[in-house]
Amino acid sequence: MTLGTLWLLIDVVFWVGFFVLEGFDFGVGILHSFVSKNDVERRICVNTIGPVWDGNEVWLIVAGAVIFAAFPLWYASMFSALYLALVVLLLALIVRGVAFEYTRKVDDERWQGAFRWGLTISSALIPLLIGVGLGDLLHGLPLNGAHQYTGNFFGLLTPFGLMSGVTMLALSVLMGADYLALKTDGELHARAAKLSVRAAWVCAVIVWGFVTWAHLGLGKGFVPNVAEVVALLGVVAAALFASAGSEGWAFTAATVGVAGTVATFFAEMYPKVMVSTNPANSVTVANSASPSYTLKVMTVVALVFFPVVLVYQTWTYVVFRRRLSGPRLSANAPAVDPAPSAQG
């Protein structure tokens, strides 16, 4: 295995980690306006992700930083193609972060409603946009001999790219529903659990369509790869576990489905990292990797710091592992801290 391939695998780990950890954050952000019946329940929904959402976003930053450092040509080509879409993505991330912090700053219904829907819409837009972008990298975009994008913004809205975006959005909703069922109780829990069953079966159909298109539809042959099998089995298992009331296993299976789906993009592209409609102009691991010395230094840094990050995030989830409920939240309370403590 070359260092370039090793660092592609490391980057895939960060992309998978981002969607596994942030996927349920997006789902909760989307669903909190719909699954809740009152303001207290909306607060509980947001509070389930309050201690972890900002830490989970670090995985996206690191995934992008890895591409910048390990595959500079890929980074440059991808930004030339997706520049406007990435600006919209950045705005959505900003709106989402501001909504977490500012919803309760003013005791005004219109103020809170605006930020609540800002959180809902931005949480849906982010996985949709990232999914479209990953789908475009796999489907193929017009690149010239200098690996620069020669199309326009609307050229990014390929049918497969849109399907990929819908798939990542659906998986986020599934994870959000499973997470709310796992982290709440009472009537809110019952609604989330019921929604998780419906979302899982719908998601299973969508993921089946995605993996079929990604492999068979793009001319990869009839036998699916391991990532695609894992993706489909994960969401089907999530549906079965949710139907049986096994919330923990349903959430675990959903994370496996998400991991398999994200890995599918890169497994189908390899050894390319950005497919061109003209095969000669595709960006590959070999032609985009940084010099060997750079990759060696990065490998040492990763070996030192990556375990530290894993330990810290694991500790965070252990500390905030309990369910949240309503008795300690007063409907007349003027504000809710975006990172509350868990309740038994």
pLDDT score for 338? 46
In a domain, 246, yes or no: yes
In a domain, 301, yes or no: yes
Q: Which two tokens stand for residue 103?
A: 């919803």
The total number of structural domains that make up the chain: 1
In a domain, 315, yes or no: yes
Dihedral, CA atoms, 160, 203, 123, 104, nearest 10 degrees?
170
In a domain, 310, yes or no: yes
In a domain, 18, yes or no: yes
Candidates 343, 344, 338; CA nearest to 51 is: 338
pLDDT score for 326? 57
Per-residue pLDDT of the chain (344 residues; tens, 9 = 90+): 799 999 999 999 999 999 998 999 999 999 999 999 888 888 899 988 887 887 888 889 999 999 999 999 999 999 889 989 999 999 999 999 999 888 888 888 888 889 999 999 999 999 999 999 999 999 999 999 999 999 888 889 999 999 999 999 999 999 999 999 998 988 999 999 999 999 999 999 999 999 999 988 887 777 888 999 999 999 999 999 999 989 999 999 999 999 999 999 999 999 999 999 999 999 999 999 999 999 999 999 888 888 888 887 778 777 776 766 655 544 444 444 444 444 43
In a domain, 277, yes or no: yes
Q: What span, in angstroms and rounded, lies between the C-alpha atoms of 32 and 174?
A: 13
**CATH number of residue 104's parent domain:** 1.20.1630
CB atoms within 10 A of CB 177: 32
In a domain, 291, yes or no: yes
Size of the chain, expressed as the number of residues it contains: 344
In a domain, 116, yes or no: yes
Which residue range(s) make up the domain with 264? 3-319
Q: Which two tokens stand for residue 272?
A: 């390319």
Say what the pTM is: 0.87
DSSP 8-state code for residue 244? T
pLDDT score for 261? 96
